[in-house]
Amino acid sequence: MVRYADLGFMFASDSMGLKAKHLGRLLCLVSMLLTVPAMGHPLKLSASVIHYDDARMALQMECKVFIDDLQLSLSNSILKDRDPNTVKREDRTALLEQYFQKFYIVKHEGRQLKWKVKVVRPLYRENVLVIRFEEIPARLQKGDRLTIINALFFRDFGPAQTNRTVVRIPSFNISDVHAATIRDPSRAYVLGTPKK
């Protein structure tokens, strides 16, 4: 593998017979390689699952986000430009809950559900944070309205951001995948006839 520092000798001498055309291409390639790490990952995406457990009569939620995207968004929206790394460990859970309460809204019959963080698991190699929330007791009935507004990171990345949401409510035959975008961040479900 060629390191950036190893390419320096090519600029120091013309003894290798590089023509100006090839040198220009090489400079262009090197400049692109050096700017890619500064831009971060090009994919702006979050993924979440909302599942209704019929036996427990409770809603469950898990969300996966890129760590660096979450840090930037927390800094911009909740921390007001404070460095997220300066937040004390014991305050991080409350900070995440406050963030999700603001940007990931789930309403049952017009009442906003309050998600409490159960487990946070970082996957550093993948730059992903898996956030699992505690179950919320909910007695879903025919005719009830469940509204999900997933606006994570839209303030930070605009239309480049997409939030994939999977909703599973087996007793009402709901198994839906929705890509929330800045133009269409919400999805509503009116619960029909329970599955027999």
pLDDT digits (tens, 9 = 90+) for 46-57: 999 999 999 999
Radius of gyration of the chain from its Cα atoms, rounded to whole angstroms: 23
Which tokens go with 179? 């890509």
Question: Are residue 78 and residue 145 in the same domain, yes or no?
Answer: yes
Helices assigned H by DSSP within the chain: 8-12, 20-39, 67-77, 89-103, 154-157
Please tell me the total count of domains within the chain: 2
Question: Are residue 167 and residue 120 in the same domain, yes or no?
Answer: yes
Tell me if 86 is assigned to some domain. yes
Instruction: Round to whole Å and give the CA distance between 167 and 175.
Output: 6
Q: Which of 34-43, 51-60, 71-80, 143-152 has the lowest mean pLDDT?
A: 34-43
Burial class (CB in 10 A: 0-12, 13-18, 19+), 32: exposed
Question: Are residue 114 and residue 165 in the same domain, yes or no?
Answer: yes
Question: Are residue 71 and residue 164 in the same domain, yes or no?
Answer: yes
Q: How confident is the model at residue 194 (pLDDT cuts 50, 70, 90)?
A: low
Tell me if 97 is assigned to some domain. yes
Q: Which of 23-27, 91-95, 125-129, 159-163 has the lowest mean pLDDT?
A: 23-27
- Domain carrying residue 26: 4-39
Question: Are residue 50 and residue 78 in the same domain, yes or no?
Answer: yes
Question: Are residue 21 and residue 109 in the same domain, yes or no?
Answer: no
Q: Are 59 and 52 in contact (CB under 8 A)?
A: yes
Q: What stretch of H or E contains 163?
A: strand 162-169
Q: What is the pLDDT of residue 86?
A: 85
Which pTM was predicted?
0.76
Question: Are residue 103 and residue 169 in the same domain, yes or no?
Answer: yes
Tell me if 130 is assigned to some domain. yes
Question: Are residue 169 and residue 125 in the same domain, yes or no?
Answer: yes
